[in-house]
Structure 1
């Protein structure tokens, strides 16, 4: 990685993102780009005052990071809505990674148009890291996830190229379905029949996962299978907790359908509720 872009609103949430980005910059010898977005839908004098104050604070932060951590920093203030301002900064700077803090939940706004974070991960070409937990050092256990789709395969390759997983324990999680157990017949099946059906589905899922892993070079990652007894986001978060992972890696695109249109993607739902860091990898843009 050469450039890491950090979007900050100067809150404690953003401080977590900045610290994680600093650790990554030190690990990879990357340059930090600090960006703050000033909402330009305000009276001009207020916009100008906030712009000047933000620029001064960014310069002070950059100077401190360069002095204390030896990290090279660039700064920029963008006048726009938070969503469009981040997109503009990403387009202009072409970072290898965008780092953001956890969103502030606004219930009605989230329901109808999604959070700024969710809108960003749908729109940018670079990986997006949401830092939810206070950084305490390099990642120890990274849980990569897959739905066995082509987009997931590409995302795992992009993650491998980032190098974040080097030196950490890596696992690859796939959640699988057992359709008969979700149908009406599943409630009347004998316990032995249910267990046999689940074992058959697990065996088939293990074969599919093995074939998938053989088609993509993701290094040494332990394969983890989990029955999707509850919605996929819940199972992913439960697995991450049980495996003591401190980073979840997901693709921003995968298998789609009506359920995704109504409820949002699995990645976006994990973004909303995770207590640990989440890295969303978009598909590689075709030139």
Structure 2
């Protein structure tokens, strides 16, 4: 891990994300790219050159002031930090920037469904998650010396998610984290018998690991009325310090995490959530 991107809006939640990013940066001797999105309006973009220059100077000066305050933290001592200001208005542009800069991890602060001021508002958190090809770690609370030791990894064991699964498990192994691979069986049209679930998991693991589950992983099959409820309840029971999910740009989180479930996992979990895209 060489580069970590932290999108910020200069709120306290930005500071939470920055502190977690700093912990990883120290561990990997990585640099942190701190990004602020101005998101200027079309009205601004159609002003005269002199008006544009004056307002651009104002916003850049304001951003510089906020950067000085945000980055004046003891936990950033000794870490290379690069400040970036971009006039982005759609969240897919963060993904393009992350790929261009060869970022390994995005760490972002989130308040939850009420959002972060004018930046991460409600579903905007999920927009970043949905469009990012880089793993996204969503932080809701302050964490000192954060290290993901116990991970609840929601998995549907679909072959199309194999690449994301392997990316995630490689990272968790690097972090020396214990992983609980959780399949949630639902009492609706997605319900499967025990044998159907076993066959599905066996086939997936045969392809992924030649039937040899890594020593840091264990399988868990549970039943609940929703994916969200099952994962959150199990993470609470274990006191896990990270929830992991696989994302799909077309339909939110995971093959079977449709609609509001995707937003719920990223926005509503009290614990850190990390997402991976196939």
Counterpart Cα distance in 2 of 1:82 and 1:9: 15
Deviation digits for residues 228-271 of structure 1 (CA, Å, limit 9, x no counterpart):
x3121221111111121111111003436xx93xx34x433211
1:239 pairs with 2:234: yes
Equivalent of residue 85 in structure 2, options 61, 71, 77 = 77
What is the match of residue 166 of structure 1?
Answer: 175
Equivalent of residue 59 in structure 2, options 42, 50, 56 = 50
What is the TM-score normalised by the length of structure 2? 0.79
Moved beyond 6 Å, runs of 4+: none
What is the match of residue 162 of structure 2?
Answer: 153
Counterpart Cα distance in 2 of 1:158 and 1:181: 26
Counterparts in 2 of 1:1-287, with a 5 A limit? 1-41=1-41, 43=44, 44=52, 45-58=54-67, 61-62=70-71, 64=73, 69-81=77-89, 83=91, 86-103=94-111, 105-106=113-114, 115-137=123-145, 138-163=147-172, 166-177=175-186, 179=188, 201-217=193-209, 219=214, 220-227=216-223, 229-253=224-248, 254-255=254-255, 260=258, 263-264=259-260, 266-283=261-278
Secondary structure of the corresponding residue to residue 53 of structure 1: helix
Counterpart Cα distance in 1 of 2:70 and 2:190: 55
What is the TM-score normalised by the length of structure 1? 0.76
Counterpart Cα distance in 2 of 1:114 and 1:64: 28
Q: Which runs of 5+ in 2 are unaligned?
A: 45-51, 116-120, 249-253
Contact 2:159 2:204 in 1 (8 A): no
Over the aligned positions, Cα root-mean-square deviation in angstroms equals 3.0
1:78 shift after superposition: 0.8
1:77 shift after superposition: 0.7
The 1:165/1:276 distance shift into structure 2, 3 A limit, reads farther
The aligned length equals 254
